[in-house]
Amino acid sequence: MSTLFESVRLGRYDLSNRLVMAPMTRSRANLDGTPGDLSPEYYSQRADVGLVVTEGVQPSEDGQGYMATPGIYTPEHIAAWRKTTDAVHSKGGRIFLQLMHAGRMSHPDNTPHHRQGVAPSAIAPGAQMFTPTGLQDAPTPRALTSDEVVQTVADFAHAARSAVEAGADGVEIHGANAYLIQQFFAPSANQRDDRYGGSIENRARFAIEVATAIAEAIGGDRTGIRLSPGTPLWGIDEGPEGADLYRYLVAELEKLGLAYLHIMDQGNEALLADLRRLWSGKLIVNRPGRTRDAIGADLASGLADLEAYGQIILANPDFVERLRTGAPFNEADRMTFFGGTEKGYTDYPALAD
Ligand SMILES: Cc1cc2nc3c(=O)[nH]c(=O)nc-3n(C[C@H](O)[C@H](O)[C@H](O)COP(=O)(O)O)c2cc1C
């Protein structure tokens, strides 16, 4: 039986252990979408996990939804991310950028171009979002034309190439948590009548095209994808066919030889077991709110090949060492999750401090 501290092959890389830093938006980027000055320090502090997955990074202007999130589509973004990837590599770590298109989870006040958000259909999520002037309703988005969907696929591939140019070891496609890719899955957000809407095959098509284009651009062995089947967030309802859509999708993704599938579990154990059977590659499992005594359980049961943790790693730069030695964990401070300075970002103490 493998343990969390054993190395594992992930795509073209040998990782030093089976612990993954889950992607976490921190809203500390500059207005031009370059990551903030503390980004290299923040990620390199946590580089002893087997794989760091960054915060969601927009692949295009239209992909931004929240305030102060970074991008990876201009030469300036590439140069700035290079500092972070170098810092992680200098500590012997591996880093994938998470490519996140927010779709309708966007507010014009949060983006540089202040345009209406884009989505599969013109249906508002019924959610509120933080903006520079406080909480506001996420407005009704504009439906992408078929040609624009094709362009969005190309934007993802361009962003993946840019990430690799910036020194990233690969990218994780954000297909989870009610953002653009999952909006295509859900009939409640996708009422299109072109080849991207209607049947399961059509609703899964955008995700498969994005994964295929990225695998062609940078190699399947540098491409991961994150899914969260059944997310109840922000007006997403995948309907009675939801589980079937994921079984179809994962069987199709299986053909692309991707580095990994990352599931953020929403409590459907039967579906999770099915997806494990359909997926012969590496599976990363993230279980929200997992307590210390349950760390390692999915590896022990044979379900997962790697386990991802978010808030514990956010609050414990030396998470791996604390886990190994049984040292207590720092508590995460929710007040400093999004935006701000080094407080709650790079100043969580390590054991040696
Ligand atoms: C501050 C914060 C920001 C997050 N941002 C993202 C994100 O950008 N992309 C993503 O896929 N998940 C994001 N998540 C979800 C986490 O990756 C993870 O799934 C969640 O926190 C549950 O795992 P945990 O209990 O180990 O933290 C975020 C979570 C937190 C706490």
pLDDT per residue as tens digits for the range 34-70? 999 999 999 999 999 999 999 999 999 999 999 999 9
Separation of CA 184 and ligand 1 centre (Å)? 21
Residue 90 domain-assigned (yes or no): yes
Please tell me the predicted confidence (pLDDT) of residue 267: 87
Dmax over Cα atoms in the chain, in whole Å?
Answer: 58
Q: Measure the CA–CA gap between 106 and 125, rounded to whole angstroms.
A: 10
164, part of any domain = yes
**Active-site choice (42, 73, 179, 196):** 179
179 labelled catalytic: yes
What's the domain count of the chain?
1
Q: How far is the CA of 324 from the centre of ligand 1 (A)?
A: 23
Locus of tokens 């009610």: 178
* pTM of the model as a whole: 0.97
Can you tell me which atom of ligand 1 is nearest the CA of 332?
A: 31
Cα 106 to Cα 118: distance, rounded to the nearest angstrom: 8
How far apart, in whole angstroms, are the C-alpha atoms of residue 187 and residue 316?
39
The answer to whether position 128 is within a domain reads yes
CB distance 310 to ligand 1 below 6 Å: yes
Closest ligand 1 atom to 226 CA: 11
**What pLDDT was estimated at residue 352?**
77
CA 187/CA 193 separation, integer angstroms:
11
**Is residue 129 assigned to a domain?**
yes
Nearest CA to ligand 1 atom 4: 24
Question: What is the Cα gyration radius of the chain?
Answer: 19
Is residue 349 assigned to a domain? no
The two beta strands, 128-131 and 118-119, are unpaired
Place of tokens 């921190």: 26
List per-block mean pLDDT (blocks of 10 residues) for the chain, which spans 353 residues. Answer: 87 98 98 97 98 98 97 98 98 98 97 95 96 94 98 98 98 98 98 98 98 98 97 94 97 98 94 97 95 94 97 97 95 96 96 79
Q: How far is the CA of 79 from the centre of ligand 1 (A)?
A: 26
Q: Specify if 168 maps to a domain.
A: yes
Best residue for ligand 1 mutational test, from 19, 21, 25, 307 (most atoms within 8 Å of Cβ): 25
Report the CATH number at residue 24.
Answer: 3.20.20.70
Whether residue 150 has its Cβ less than 6 Å from ligand 1: no
Range of the domain at 122: 8-336
Mind listing the pLDDT tens digit for each residue in 289-344?
888 999 999 999 999 999 999 999 999 999 999 999 999 999 999 999 999 999 99
Alpha helices in 35-145 (DSSP H): 39-45, 75-90
Residue 221 lies in a domain: yes
264 ligand 1 Cβ < 6 A: yes
Question: Which pLDDT belongs to residue 2?
Answer: 65
Does residue 130 sit within a domain? yes
